[in-house]
């Protein structure tokens, strides 16, 4: 087994293993690698993470988030609904916080193209539409972009 050189280390007050098992249930290509009373090592889409029961000294916040690239609205909806379930909360512009306190960005791949359009009026309309959204809506973003 190859060891990943840089591994995100997620500090939870408690329930690190529960969080890891939740994330593994959400993503198809994922698995638990190892657990003990203090931490869980898990893998999502080939990337390893460590979830650690560190106590209340440090808390997860939005300064670190995980970014999910989505091809379709169905994929956006799937991840959005799964990650906000059972106590997660919606934020804005495709951001949410799961019930364990980890921030996620659920973003359709097309957003970069819309916001990066050389036609600044189109790009600005897409940006304004995104800023008015909570969960991102691909059709509404495309419509705003088109004018």
- How far is 41 from 43, CA to CA, in rounded Å? 7
The CA distances from residue 136 to 34, 85, 128, in Å, are 34, 17, 12
Together in a domain, 92 and 125: yes
Please indicate, yes or no, whether residues 128 and 77 belong to a single structural domain of this protein.
Answer: yes
* Residue 37 counted as domain residue: yes
Task: Assess contact for 44 and 30: CB atoms under 8 A.
Answer: yes
Identify whether residues 73 and 118 lie together within a single domain.
yes
Average pLDDT over residues 118-129: 98
- How many domains does the structure of the chain reveal? 2
Residues 48, 111 within the same domain: no
Regarding whether 87 and 142 lie in a shared domain, the answer is yes
User: Which pLDDT score, from 0 to 100, does residue 1 have?
Assistant: 59
Instruction: Answer yes or no: is 2 within a domain.
Output: no
30 pLDDT band, cuts 50/70/90, is very high
Calpha distance 142→137 (Å, rounded): 9
Please tell me whether residues 77 and 118 are part of one structural domain. Answer: yes
Give the alpha-carbon dihedral of 87, 23, 83, 138, to 10 degrees: 170
Question: What's the whole-number mean pLDDT along residues 81-89?
Answer: 97
Q: In what order do the strands lie in the sheet with 103-108?
A: 65-70, 103-108, 95-97, 89-90
Closest by CA to 42, choosing from 23, 26, 61, is: 23
Looking at the fold, whether 96 and 64 belong to one and the same domain comes out as: yes
Residues 49 and 68 in one domain: no
- Give strand pairing partners of 68: 106
Q: What is the CATH number of the domain that holds 79?
A: 3.10.180.10
Residue 2: what pLDDT? 66
Render pLDDT for 41-80 as a digit per residue (tens, 0 to 9). Answer: 999 999 999 999 999 888 888 899 999 999 999 999 999 9
pTM of structure: 0.93
Q: What is the DSSP letter of 36?
A: -
68 inside domain? yes
Q: Which residues pair with 30 in a beta bridge?
A: 44
Chain center to CA of 51:
15
Residues 139 and 88 in one domain: yes
Are residues 134 and 66 part of one domain?
yes
Q: In this structure, are 85 and 52 located in the same domain?
A: no
Structural domain containing residue 21: 7-56
């Amino acid at each position: 087994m190859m060891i990943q050189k840089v591994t995100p280390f997620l500090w939870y007050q408690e329930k690190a293993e529960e969080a890891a098992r939740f994330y593994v249930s959400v993503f198809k290509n994922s698995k638990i690698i190892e657990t003990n009373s203090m931490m869980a090592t898990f893998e999502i889409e080939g990337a390893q993470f460590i979830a650690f029961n560190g106590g209340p000294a440090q808390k997860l916040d939005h300064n670190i988030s995980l970014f999910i690239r989505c091809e379709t609205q169905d994929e956006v909806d799937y991840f959005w609904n799964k990650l906000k379930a059972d106590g997660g909360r919606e934020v804005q512009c495709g951001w949410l916080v799961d019930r364990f306190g980890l921030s996620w960005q659920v973003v359709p791949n097309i957003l970069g193209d819309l916001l990066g359009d050389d036609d600044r009026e189109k790009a600005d309309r897409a940006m304004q539409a995104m800023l008015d959204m909570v969960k991102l809506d691909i059709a509404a973003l495309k419509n705003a972009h088109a004018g």
